[in-house]
Amino acid sequence: MAVYTHLTAAELAEFVGQYDVGALRSAKGIAEGISNSNWLIETAHSGASRRFIMTVFEARTEAADLPFFLHLLDHLADAGQPVPRTIHTSDGGQMITVRGKPAALIEFLPGVSIDEPDAQQAHAVGVALADLHLATRDFSPTRTSTLSIPTCIAMLRTYADRFDEIDPELAQILPDCGAGLLDEWPDALPEGTIHADLFPDNVLFVDGVVTGMIDFYFACTGTLAFDVAVTHAAWSFAPTDGAFRPEIAKALMSGYQTHRSLSDAERAALPILAQAACLRFVATRVEDWFATPADGLVRRKDPMEFARRLAFYRERGEAPFA
């Protein structure tokens, strides 16, 4: 949520000059995305003003993965999905190098992300997620997640003896760092390309309509119902007090199934998948917690937020998905 790479005006102009988008007119560093540097770029092209997002990928994004992410954006945009299309350089490339780091220019999409969705918005995001799953059935590139559940369990084990520094409840919620989830792991569920991080900040709306799904930099090949579970865990709790919002969960599930039906096996797996989704966010937040000084300057995301959601899903079984 910051601009990590500082670029001079000359570097920005050189960057934009590699694309056939007109002359640079404005570049504002924006507080978007968690770990990359982003600018809202404006150009003048044949008298018209055009806007783009320029991203410089920082260390957390593997350069080798970028072709997957960028091809996915174009594939989805070609299929009419509300995702930003990549802009290609004058010689056809999707990626360039800025200060030795990979960088890309993508479409700017209108819309505002919602903090506390209403049922109509939750329904719309459910539909959009199903459409994303359907539109990638013919997307052949694959990418293995770097945050598989065994990896997340291993990440947590590194810090297990320091859980009390975060909250004494954490160790109680996560006996054996959540490894028990693997025993109940469902197999043979439908796979495909998943967003894997469709939080409210990554969805743009105008008048209740989804105008953008953004930040595909965790997208990977995976279990489609896991993506539903991630989205369920990310949207169905009040941002203020963390209370479960059944009407939002219901609207999300109903929206998704308007365009893609979940099989009985997928439905049955949702309670475990939702716990796994929570575990994934607990794991990265625990890691960030111990990597970030507690001086109040950088807001560390609280690992307990998703630990409590994990406990909720464990206790409530299939009810939250009805």
Write the binding mask 240 to 279 for a copy of itself: x where contact by CB under 8 A, - elsewhere: ----------------------------------------
- Comparing CB distances to a copy of itself, the nearer of 49 and 263 is 49
User: Contacts with a copy of itself: how many residues (CB under 8 A)?
Assistant: 36
User: Please, what is the angle between helix 119-135 and helix 246-259, to 10°?
Assistant: 30
Minimum Å distance from CB 154 to a copy of itself? Answer: 27
Q: List the structure tokens of 138.
A: 């013919």
Which residues, in sequence order, are CB contacts of 122 under 8 Å at separation 6+? 235, 236, 248, 249, 251, 252, 255
- Contact in structure between 114 and 207 (CB atoms under 8 Å): no
- Comparing CB distances to a copy of itself, the nearer of 77 and 114 is 114
List residues bridging with 223 in a β-sheet: 191
How far from chain centre, in Å, is Cα 292? 21
Minimum Å distance from CB 124 to a copy of itself? Answer: 14
Q: Does 8 participate in binding a copy of itself (rule CB under 8 A)?
A: yes
Q: Does 9 participate in binding a copy of itself (rule CB under 8 A)?
A: yes
- Contact in structure between 216 and 69 (CB atoms under 8 Å): yes
Q: Which of residues 40-79 bind a copy of itself (CB under 8 A)?
A: 40, 42, 44
In the set 80, 168, 175, 293, which binds a copy of itself (CB under 8 A)?
Answer: 293
How far is Cα 272 from Cα 282, in angstroms, rounded to an integer?
15
Is the Cα torsion angle 37, 38, 44, 46 positive or negative in sign? positive
- Comparing CB distances to a copy of itself, the nearer of 27 and 103 is 27
In the set 111, 180, 186, 190, which binds a copy of itself (CB under 8 A)?
Answer: 111
Q: List the structure tokens of 8.
A: 């001079």
Q: Does 295 participate in binding a copy of itself (rule CB under 8 A)?
A: yes
Residues that bind a copy of itself (CB under 8 A): 2-3, 8-10, 12-13, 23-32, 40, 42, 44, 108, 110-116, 204-207, 293, 295, 297-298
